[in-house]
Amino acid sequence: MVHLSVIYQKQLDESTPCPICQAAMYWVEAEQYGQELNFHECSHCQHQRFISDRHTCHCDHCLNQRKQAVQQVRAQETRQQRKRVQPEFVYHLEQLNFIQKLFLLALLDDVAQEHVPHDEYIHWHTQKYHSISPNYQFQNQLIKQMIQQQILLPKDELEDKGIYILNLKLDGYEDPSLFSICQRLRMWFFENLTQGLPFKDSEEVKNALYLMFYQEIVQFMQAYCRTWSVQISGNKALQTLCYQWLDRMAVGQIYYMIQNGLEYLHKQGALQARNDQFINTNLLKKTIQQYRERSVKEKWEAYTLPRPYNIPLSKMSEIFFYRFLQFDENIFLQPVWKVWKTVAPRLGFFAQTRCMHCGSDALEIEYDAAEHVSFRCRICKQQDHYFTQ
Give me Rg for the CA atoms of the chain. Answer: 31
Distance between CA 294 and CA 257 in Å, rounded?
12
Distance between CA 323 and CA 348 in Å, rounded?
18
> Which residue in 194, 196, 202, 100 sits closest to 151, CA to CA?
100
Res 84 pLDDT > 50: no
φ, ψ at 150 (rounded to 5°): 65, 30
More confident residue, 53 or 284: 284
Task: Encode pLDDT of 9-34 as tens digits.
Answer: 888 888 888 888 888 889 888 887 77
Residue 12 CA from chain centroid, whole number: 57
Cα pseudo-dihedral 352, 358, 364, 370, rounded to 10: -50
Can you give the pTM of this predicted structure? 0.74
Res 82 pLDDT > 70: no
Binned at pLDDT 50, 70 and 90, residue 155 comes out as confident
End-to-end CA distance of the chain: 83
Distance between CA 46 and CA 57 in Å, rounded?
9
Lowest-confidence pick of 29-38, 91-100, 175-184, 281-290: 29-38
3-class secondary-structure state, position 315: helix
Q: Which amino acid is at 96?
A: L
3-class secondary-structure state, position 172: coil
Lowest-confidence pick of 63-77, 168-182, 189-203, 290-304: 63-77
Mean local confidence (pLDDT), 102-126: 89
Cα pseudo-dihedral 152, 157, 159, 164, rounded to 10: -20
| DSSP state, residue 321 | I
Task: Encode pLDDT of 192-214 as tens digits.
Answer: 887 888 998 899 999 999 999 99
Q: Do the Cβ atoms of 234 and 214 come closer than 8 Å?
A: yes
Contact partners, residue 28, CB within 8 Å, separation at least 6: 7, 9, 10, 38, 39, 40, 41
- Please report the pLDDT score of residue 307 as a whole number: 94
Res 1 pLDDT > 60: no
More confident residue, 119 or 255: 255
Res 372 pLDDT > 80: no
Distance between CA 70 and CA 63 in Å, rounded?
11
Q: What is the mean pLDDT of the chain?
A: 86
Query: Which helix or strand (DSSP H or E) is residue 361 part of?
Result: none
Mean local confidence (pLDDT), 155-175: 78
More confident residue, 236 or 62: 236
Q: What is the residue-wise DSSP string for 185-231?
A: HHHHHHSTTTT--S-SSHHHHHHHHHHHHHHHHHHHHHHHHHTTT--
Res 314 pLDDT > 90: yes
Contact partners, residue 345, CB within 8 Å, separation at least 6: 388, 389
Q: Distances in Å between the alpha carbon of 41 and those of 33, 52, 53, 66, 142?
A: 19, 14, 15, 19, 53
> Which residue in 141, 167, 142, 145 sits closest to 154, CA to CA?
167
Q: What angle do CA 205, 207, 213 make, to 5 degrees?
A: 100
Q: Do the Cβ atoms of 259 and 301 come closer than 8 Å?
A: no
Lowest-confidence pick of 149-163, 187-201, 299-313: 149-163
Strands across the sheet containing 152-154: 122-123, 163-166, 152-154
Res 308 pLDDT > 70: yes
Return the number of other C-beta atoms located less than 10 Å from residue 202's C-beta.
20
Which stretches within the chain are classed as H helix?
Answer: 60-85, 98-108, 124-127, 136-148, 178-190, 202-226, 236-246, 251-267, 279-298, 315-317, 336-352
Binned at pLDDT 50, 70 and 90, residue 325 comes out as very high
Q: Which amino acid is at 275?
A: N
